[in-house]
Amino acid sequence: MSKIFNKECVQASHIKDHSENKIQHYSHFSQKSQYVSLITVNNGKKPVQCLMCLKEFLKKKYLMRHMRIHAKEKQHQCAVCLKNFVYKCYLARHMKIHTGEKPFQCSECQKGFSSKFYLVTHLKNHTGEKPYQCSECLKEFSQKSHLVQHVRNHTGEKPYKCSECLKEFSQKSHLVQHVRNHTGEKPYQCSECLKEFSKKSQLVQHVRIHTGEKPYQCSECLKEFSQRSHLVQHVKNHTGEKPFQCSECLKNFSRKCDLAQHMRSHTGEKPYQCSECLKVFSRKCDLERHKKIHTGEKPFTCSECLKVFSRKSHLSRHMRIHTKEKPFSCSNCLKKFSRKSHLVLHMRIHSKEKPFRCSECLKEFSDKSNLVKHVRLHTS
């Protein structure tokens, strides 16, 4: 009886099981005893194991197919990016990355996928199915690969090493991203402004600047955010949670990174340096903002008058000119302001606070600009 196959690579693998050339991968073992021991395991009706990576298979034919990965038998090459593949069907699946073809669609959310495997994996998000469980902490996962990665948290295993600096990683994707620090490669480009990124996630977040998309919403106040991390941080405003405390002054912070930045006010550390003028900063965001002075970059455009800004916060502040919005209100007299800094100045009228003092005559001022004007009287 003839067996029918729907993929060439599956048929080819099947034919090899019937061919006389079953041990063509014998050369991949340094000693004959290694290969013999592998056959003996199979004859003992136990799963066969790859001696290169210790992966186990129920049948020898699956092992032989797997061995091509180590033997680097990749005869099928992509004409676009020159990447090589073991099987022709793998190449066909890869080509959909270049063509953008996504023939497999989720019936729940209509999201498209380039392969049936990715669709099946995605469907578990809707069903909630998590068939893979960690034996250490009993955490469950929808994908076996996620379980494998998770287990390394318990074992500490980091099988992927950078050939440049020897740093080790638990996930191959983390190594790939890290290597780009050495090569400077930025394969992801924004189609709007042509800015390049080393990570796809960075590009996705950046594109939301142009589209205005804010997919993450606070369930308390319905405020929307373009990044999930921003939502997580915002939620702490409602809960009041500040789990990170400064050991010097005991001030509490909602984020670990905020504590790290704060600690530099005690240590005086400024690890971020501008390559143009060598000015140093304690925060990376301050350096990135400063660099725009040299580049002249102003990626944020007002949709009303087309005025451009180097910072998103400046655009948001400017937009209030058009909307007449005044979101900052005085709790004493209910007067409203378009800028928070204006409210702070106004509050000093009620509190009588004058934090700016002249070093010459000790006169105090509520506004720094008034102090600057006053100092000129001494210097003129």
Domains in the chain: boundaries: 8-73, 244-323, 328-379
The predicted structure's pLDDT at residue 20? 35
- Which pLDDT tens digit goes with each residue over 5-42? 554 544 444 544 443 333 334 444 444 344 444 444 44
* pLDDT score recorded for residue 87: 76
Do 146 and 128 touch, CB atoms closer than 8 A?
Answer: no
Q: Are 76 and 84 in contact (CB under 8 A)?
A: yes
CB-based contacts of 268: which residues, under 8 Å, 6+ apart?
A: none
pLDDT confidence of residue 38: 46
Would you state the structure tokens that stand for residue 278, as one six-digit string?
């060598």
**Helices in the chain by DSSP H: which ranges?**
8-18, 32-43, 60-71, 88-99, 116-127, 144-155, 172-183, 200-211, 228-239, 256-267, 284-295, 312-323, 340-351, 368-379
Distance, in Å, from the CA atom of 307 to the CA atom of 312, rounded to the nearest integer, reads 12
Q: Quote the tokens at residue 3.
A: 């067996």
Do 244-323 and 328-379 fold alike per CATH?
Answer: yes
Instruction: Let me know: does 88 contact 106? Beta carbons within 8 Å.
Output: no
Q: What is the pLDDT of residue 52?
A: 67
For the chain, 380 residues long, give each residue's pLDDT as a single digit of tens: 445 555 454 444 454 444 333 333 444 444 434 444 444 444 444 577 777 666 777 888 888 877 766 665 567 888 887 788 777 888 888 887 788 788 889 888 888 888 888 888 888 888 888 888 999 899 998 888 888 889 988 988 888 888 889 999 888 888 888 888 888 888 888 888 888 888 888 888 898 888 888 889 988 888 898 888 888 888 888 888 888 899 988 888 888 888 888 888 888 888 889 988 999 988 888 888 888 888 888 888 899 899 988 888 889 889 988 989 888 889 889 899 888 888 888 998 898 888 889 988 999 988 888 889 999 898 87
State the virtual CA torsion across 350, 351, 355, 356 in degrees, nearest 10: 30
Out of 3.30.160.60, 3.40.190.10, 3.90.79.10, 3.20.20.150, which CATH number does the structure's domain 244-323 have? 3.30.160.60
pLDDT, residue 173, reads: 85
Architecture of domain 328-379: 2-Layer Sandwich (3.30)
